[in-house]
């Protein structure tokens, strides 16, 4: 055997037997933790750093409440407009290798809020965030979930694709208008609902001789779930939408005659559906009426229309969207979903189950 080849083989054997003598294989035994400044063993499994939360201009009150429940500080964001009307978005905190959550409901002006969210997603990706979750308490484009007219866009799916293309690794949202919209997202998506929040509220009321009513058959499943939580019967309306402003309820399936009613809907925009279902309930001689909706937009003349209905005892909504003082009626109750949203964020960060949040309480 040539001497040179013999020396090479001998060197490799020694390298395999005594790797600590090889400087290439030596690794530092400790490193500084960016999270707490302590020395940690490098053999420990690497974890993402702390939760980092940013938001746009859509709903600062909700974001502040979520941060309070999580015990984290809201990271600052700069959003301004150039002279040519283009938006400028900058995340003003380090988010390298962080678990970033961007909270932004798509509320009016919807296109403005959507672009803010897309820019924040792209900025977080460019800043080397370990994971970026788009937290969208109200996903307004969920109403555009099918092609029910020629030559139209299924905007719910298109916007979902835009969010992923901009850098969303995960989506957290609440009470989508249609369940199939969940499938529009090509990244893991957690779909929360406010049924437990409503159930806790109505348990403090006198529910004798009460029925839960869904304004249309498409929301009958959620109405049935709330009815089971409250141990009440359920009924549903047969609704047909003629336009954004006009709906027709053909009939109500279920026994509502002489009963008090809780109407459950996902959102109230111009209140056309509520006014129509109220007309049929009066024909069936229903009693007191309470309205519960997750997203209380109350656009157009909705507040005036609801104020004129003397048989509505209370309107219960959540703070997924901001509600200005001029839209708040004396019989209106706004329930906070911040604790639910904060707990979901905590569980996502820690890799825990989110579905257990939906267990009836």
The reply to whether 239 belongs to the active site is yes
Structure tokens at 191: 């779909």
Phi–psi pair at 86, nearest 5 degrees: -80, 150
Report cis status (omega within 30 of 0) of the bond before 266. Answer: no
Is 105 buried (19+), middle (13-18) or exposed (0-12) by CB count in 10 A? buried
Tokens of 229: 């939580």
Query: Which residues, other chains included, contact 60 with Cβ-Cβ below 8 Å and sequence gap of 6+?
Result: none
Residue with tokens 């799916």: 157
Token digits of residue 148: 């029910």
By C-alpha distance, which of 335, 336, 337 is closest to 357? 337
CA–CA dist 294, 263 (Å, integer):
12
CA dihedral 49, 53, 54, 57 (to 10 degrees): 180
CB-based burial label for 346 (10 Å; 0-12, 13-18, 19+)? middle
Catalytic, out of 239, 240, 259, 327: 239
Neighbours of 343 (CB within 10 A): 17
CA atoms of 257 and 274, how far apart (whole Å): 18
Q: Which residues are catalytic?
A: 239
């Amino acid at each position: 055997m040539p001497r040179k080849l013999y020396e090479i083989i001998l060197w490799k054997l020694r390298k395999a037997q005594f790797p600590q003598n090889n400087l290439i294989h030596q690794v530092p035994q400790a490193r500084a933790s960016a999270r707490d400044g302590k020395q940690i063993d490098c053999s420990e499994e690497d974890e993402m750093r702390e939760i980092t939360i940013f938001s746009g201009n859509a709903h600062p009150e909700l974001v502040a409440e979520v941060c309070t429940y999580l015990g984290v500080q809201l990271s600052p964001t700069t959003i301004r407009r150039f002279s040519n009307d283009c938006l400028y978005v900058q995340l003003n905190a380090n988010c390298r290798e962080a678990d970033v959550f961007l909270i932004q409901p798509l509320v009016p002006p919807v296109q403005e809020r959507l672009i803010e969210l897309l820019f924040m997603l792209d900025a977080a990706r460019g800043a080397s965030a370990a994971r970026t979750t788009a937290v969208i308490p109200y996903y307004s484009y969920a109403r555009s979930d099918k092609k029910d007219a020629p030559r139209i866009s299924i905007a719910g799916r298109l916007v979902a694709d835009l969010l992923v293309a901009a850098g969303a690794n995960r989506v957290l949202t609440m009470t989508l208008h249609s369940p199939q919209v969940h499938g529009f997202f090509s990244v893991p998506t957690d779909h929360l609902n406010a049924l437990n929040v409503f159930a806790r509220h109505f348990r403090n009321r006198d529910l004798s001789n009460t029925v839960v009513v869904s304004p249309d058959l498409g929301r009958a499943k959620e109405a049935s779930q709330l009815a089971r939580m409250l141990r009440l019967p359920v009924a549903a309306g047969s609704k047909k939408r003629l336009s954004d402003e006009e709906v027709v309820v053909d009939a109500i399936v279920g026994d509502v005659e002489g009963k008090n009613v809780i109407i459950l809907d996902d959102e109230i925009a111009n209140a056309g559906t509520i006014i129509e279902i109220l007309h049929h309930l009066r024909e069936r001689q229903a009693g007191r009426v309470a309205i519960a909706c997750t997203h209380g937009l109350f656009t157009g003349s909705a507040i005036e229309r609801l104020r004129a209905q003397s048989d509505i005892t209370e309107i219960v909504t959540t703070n997924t969207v901001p509600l200005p003082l001029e839209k708040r009626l004396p019989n209106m109750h706004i329930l906070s979903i911040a604790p639910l949203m904060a707990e979901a964020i905590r569980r996502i960060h820690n890799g825990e189950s989110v579905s257990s949040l939906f267990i009836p309480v």
